Amino acid sequence: MNIHITGRHVEVTPAIRDYVHSKLERITRHFDSVIDLNVILSVDKLRHKCEATVHLRGKDIFAESDDENMYAAIDSLSDKLDRSVIKHKEKQQDRRGATPASGEQEE
């Protein structure tokens, strides 16, 4: 997975870069066919904003988050992306007619 981090009106320090990598690593734990991930970090007055686009096979998922703290915005963004990727994965499995995991029963 390629992660591209861009900063608008903010310097992307190694600490921020490492934090983004560690938070967005969990997306690959849930869905391993992530091709590319573009992250844009920006500051507008007192609002710190994070935007991300995840390129999957057959779909692009976009999420954005803003907060008073850059690290809190990154946390919120990773949660949103994680939920979106899991939802996309579940939809794909439903389309393929996947059987329920062992121990689960259909109603």
Distance CA 75, CA 3 (A): 16
Residue 58: pLDDT over 90? no
DSSP string, 22-87: HHHHHHHHH-S-EEEEEEEEEEETTEEEEEEEEEETTEEEEEEEEESSHHHHHHHHHHHHHHHHHH
Least confident range from 5-14, 26-35, 42-51, 98-107: namely 98-107
Q: Which residue has the higher pLDDT, 93 or 21?
A: 21
Residue 107: pLDDT over 90? no
pLDDT digits (tens, 9 = 90+) for 15-37: 999 999 999 888 877 777 788 89
CATH of domain 2-76: 3.30.160.100
Mean pLDDT for the chain overall = 86
State whether residue 89 is helix, strand or coil: helix
Q: Averaged over 58-83, what is the pLDDT?
A: 92
